[in-house]
Chains A and B, each alone.
Chain A
Amino acid sequence: MSIKKSEIEHLCNLSKLNLDEEEQSIFLSQMQSILEMIKELEGVDTGEIAPMAHPLQMSQRLREDEITEFNERDKYQKNTDFAEDGFYKVPKVID
């Protein structure tokens, strides 16, 4: 199994990352060796084993339906210089 440059490009697109040419070629070979390593799992007999998503055998706790958070917009928007009139701003989206 080997990973192709076009696949890296697809993954970059899904994860919204840009790589320059050099990074791309480094990643290609590094990804190759990482995939070689994780390929080891193929041989493990996992028959009827249930996948483990969490370390603890607990179930989801439920929160009462109460309003506990109040408007802190101005405080929270201090972390961006790109809020105006209470809105966050992004480059124009065309549907």
Chain B
Amino acid sequence: MKRHTVRELQDMIADQSVSSDEVYQLYLNRIKAMNDSINAFISIESDETSSGTEENDSEIKGVPYALKDIFCSEGDKTTCGSKMLSNFVSPYDATVVKNLRKKGTIILGKTNMDEFAMGSSNETSFYGNVLNPWDTERTPGGSSGGSAAAVAAGMAPIALGTDTGGSIRQPAALTGITGLKPTYGRCSRYGMIAFASSLDQAGILSISAEDAAIFLEHMAGYDHKDSTSSMEEVPKYTEFLNDNLSGKVVGLPKEFFDGSLDSKYQGLVSDSIHEYEKMGIKFKDISLPNIKYSVPTYYVVAPAECSSNLARYDGVRFGHRSSDDSDLDAFYKKTRKEGFGQEVKRRIITGTYVLSAGYYDAYYLKAQKVRQLINQDFLNAFKEVDVIMGPTTQQSAFKLGEKVDDPVSMYMNDIYTISSNLSGVPAISHPIGFVDDLPFGMQVIAPHFMEHDLLNIVHKYQMVTDWHLQIPGICRELDR
């Protein structure tokens, strides 16, 4: 089997070697053949068409994509991986979905995810684990695990995800694909079910940086329905892909290279740095002194926001509703007890705690200040370097069930990715090799609104390497 990139599909559709309907059917067939073994999709949209195209000359007309089930899409079940929304049908399109629909893209299905995007292993989904196509005993990462697995296994050429603390980059790294988290505010959050509003950002899981560039251009942009979306102009990302990298300066934060990374991964990182050096990139040691507080800061800010964002799930206007109608208080408590899984409850309670009287200053306010320090670390670093690089994760895909009972060790998974969300800067993960047949990823972080730099750098790397084109064995088995 061959995995097609968006770029290839565009060409195939353009020269009429295949119709967009045939492309759509091809992927639907793959999903039907593989989803039982991977569990990447919660629902399959098998009767979509691209008839809604407003722009006939759209370069991505007819390109199908997988949509994380956190995005509202009109008329579709939108579950957010939760029992709470297992019967919820969205009456409207998220802005990014609407933007892509206008360009004639087609939704293949809604992908599995950690419940309300809270998790790093996809094990908190009400719809069961997603399995990593590279090793089905392992996690694909989370929370956009379904989107990552779908792209890795060729069930979709490209997928949308969301990234609040690493939820695009970590699963991309663990499944051997490219994952871009744009700048906070680059893509509208309207219609993206909120987890932590000041950290959430929509992004892309794709085979290549080039594909991400193609899609981001059409997804991104100011939205009058999202007060936090940016009015910064959206560049034509594809035009920057082949820019010369010579003279670029990359910072390597000593905090990412403190010896805690296993040597087998360190070797891959060194190899890729070497590859970049060949392109004329200069590397420089830098320090982000407050980055070590990223995880605790995040685990105050994100739960606080989530505890409030998830208060709307009360069983009254939509979503799961307890049959216990005896009195209002019991009704609320039962509805929410039944509708939410453990991780979500834990975060709601943590968030309630850090916001409650007597603790607000010590936790929430303090975390907001430390967040500022972390942000300043980035601003200072970017005075000296163009981008920052480091491993995306501390290890490759771990076994399902390995960390599920230990929230703190699970939270530590996001140690390299969380700081970009706190600061709002864009970051991309791309595959740089394999350890024990499992992919490993490297992250590149740029200043606000410099996505074109990230895409340029990774594209150039992907022109001279083929790690991103490796296909999991399970896909080959399917062909037999």
**Which residues of B have CB within 8 Å of A50?**
369, 372
Alpha-carbon gap, A77 to B91, bound state (A): 10
Tell me if B440 is interfacial: C-beta within 8 Å of chain A: no
- With both beta carbons as reference points, the residue of chain A lying nearest to B374 in the complex is identified as A52
- With both beta carbons as reference points, the residue of chain A lying nearest to B355 in the complex is identified as A14
A91 adjacent to B296 (CB under 8 Å): no
Tell me if A70 is interfacial: C-beta within 8 Å of chain B: no
Tell me if A41 is interfacial: C-beta within 8 Å of chain B: yes
Pick the most buried of B333, B425, B448: most chain A CB atoms within 10 A of its CB. B333
**Which residues of A have CB within 8 Å of B314?**
16
Picked from A17, A27, A33, A51, the residue with its CB within 8 Å of the CB of B368 is A51
A41 adjacent to B363 (CB under 8 Å): yes
A58 adjacent to B230 (CB under 8 Å): yes
Tell me if B4 is interfacial: C-beta within 8 Å of chain A: no
B336 adjacent to A41 (CB under 8 Å): no
Tell me if A30 is interfacial: C-beta within 8 Å of chain B: yes
Alpha-carbon gap, A40 to B424, bound state (A): 22
Picked from B89, B307, B319, B366, the residue with its CB within 8 Å of the CB of A41 is B366
**Which residues of A have CB within 8 Å of B425?**
55
Tell me if B398 is interfacial: C-beta within 8 Å of chain A: no
A15 adjacent to B363 (CB under 8 Å): no
Alpha-carbon gap, A85 to B60, bound state (A): 45
Q: Nearest chain B CB to A92's CB is how many angstroms away? A: 7
Interface residues of B in 383-416 (CB under 8 A from A): 406-408, 411
Alpha-carbon gap, A65 to B155, bound state (A): 45
Alpha-carbon gap, A8 to B91, bound state (A): 36
Pick the most buried of B329, B337, B340, B406: most chain A CB atoms within 10 A of its CB. B337
How many residues does chain B have at the interface if contact means C-beta atoms less than 8 Å apart? 72
A49 adjacent to B407 (CB under 8 Å): no
**Per-residue contact bits, chain B 176-193, to A (CB 8 Å; 1 contact, 0 not):** 000000011100000000
Tell me if B434 is interfacial: C-beta within 8 Å of chain A: no
B408 adjacent to A33 (CB under 8 Å): yes
- With both beta carbons as reference points, the residue of chain B lying nearest to A76 in the complex is identified as B91
A56 adjacent to B448 (CB under 8 Å): yes
B198 adjacent to A46 (CB under 8 Å): no
Alpha-carbon gap, A22 to B330, bound state (A): 19
Tell me if A37 is interfacial: C-beta within 8 Å of chain B: yes
A16 adjacent to B340 (CB under 8 Å): no
Alpha-carbon gap, A10 to B260, bound state (A): 39
A44 adjacent to B293 (CB under 8 Å): yes
Q: Which of B208-216, B346-354, B462-470 contacts A (4 or more CB under 8 A)?
A: B346-354
Tell me if A80 is interfacial: C-beta within 8 Å of chain B: yes
Tell me if A79 is interfacial: C-beta within 8 Å of chain B: yes
B349 adjacent to A49 (CB under 8 Å): no
Alpha-carbon gap, A31 to B329, bound state (A): 24
Q: A17-B345, A44-B373 are in contact. Are A37 and B333 (CB under 8 A)?
A: no
Tell me if B328 is interfacial: C-beta within 8 Å of chain A: yes
**Which residues of A have CB within 8 Å of B353?**
3, 7, 11, 31, 35
**Which residues of A have CB within 8 Å of B346?**
27, 30-31, 34
Tell me if B227 is interfacial: C-beta within 8 Å of chain A: yes
**Which residues of B have CB within 8 Å of A33?**
406-408
Picked from B316, B336, B363, the residue with its CB within 8 Å of the CB of A38 is B363
Tell me if B218 is interfacial: C-beta within 8 Å of chain A: no
Picked from B228, B348, B408, the residue with its CB within 8 Å of the CB of A54 is B228
Alpha-carbon gap, A11 to B184, bound state (A): 31
Picked from A11, A18, A23, A82, the residue with its CB within 8 Å of the CB of B321 is A82
Alpha-carbon gap, A80 to B92, bound state (A): 16
Q: Nearest chain B CB to A89's CB is how many angstroms away? A: 8
Picked from B185, B224, B350, the residue with its CB within 8 Å of the CB of A56 is B185
Interface residues of A in 14-72 (CB under 8 A from B): 14-19, 23, 26-27, 30-31, 33-42, 44, 46, 49-56, 58, 60-61, 63, 72
- With both beta carbons as reference points, the residue of chain B lying nearest to A23 in the complex is identified as B342
Tell me if B13 is interfacial: C-beta within 8 Å of chain A: no
Tell me if B318 is interfacial: C-beta within 8 Å of chain A: yes
A34 adjacent to B198 (CB under 8 Å): no
A56 adjacent to B345 (CB under 8 Å): no
- With both beta carbons as reference points, the residue of chain A lying nearest to B90 in the complex is identified as A79
Q: A12-B349, A49-B372, A53-B368 are in contact. Are A79 and B317 (CB under 8 A)?
A: yes
**Which residues of A have CB within 8 Å of B228?**
54, 56, 58
**Which residues of B have CB within 8 Å of A44?**
290, 293, 366, 369-370, 373
A15 adjacent to B334 (CB under 8 Å): no
Alpha-carbon gap, A26 to B341, bound state (A): 14
Not counting A55-B423, A55-B424, A82-B321, a sample of 18 additional A-B residue pairs whose C-beta atoms are within 8 angstroms of each other reads: A15-B307, A16-B333, A19-B337, A26-B342, A27-B346, A30-B346, A31-B346, A31-B353, A34-B350, A41-B366, A44-B293, A44-B370, A51-B372, A52-B369, A53-B368, A55-B375, A76-B91, A80-B321
A sample of 27 cross-chain residue pairs with beta-carbon separation below 8 angstroms, ordered by A number, consists of A11-B353, A12-B349, A16-B311, A16-B329, A17-B336, A17-B345, A18-B334, A18-B336, A18-B337, A27-B345, A30-B407, A31-B353, A33-B406, A34-B299, A34-B346, A38-B363, A41-B296, A41-B366, A44-B369, A50-B369, A51-B365, A51-B369, A55-B448, A56-B184, A56-B185, A58-B185, A72-B91
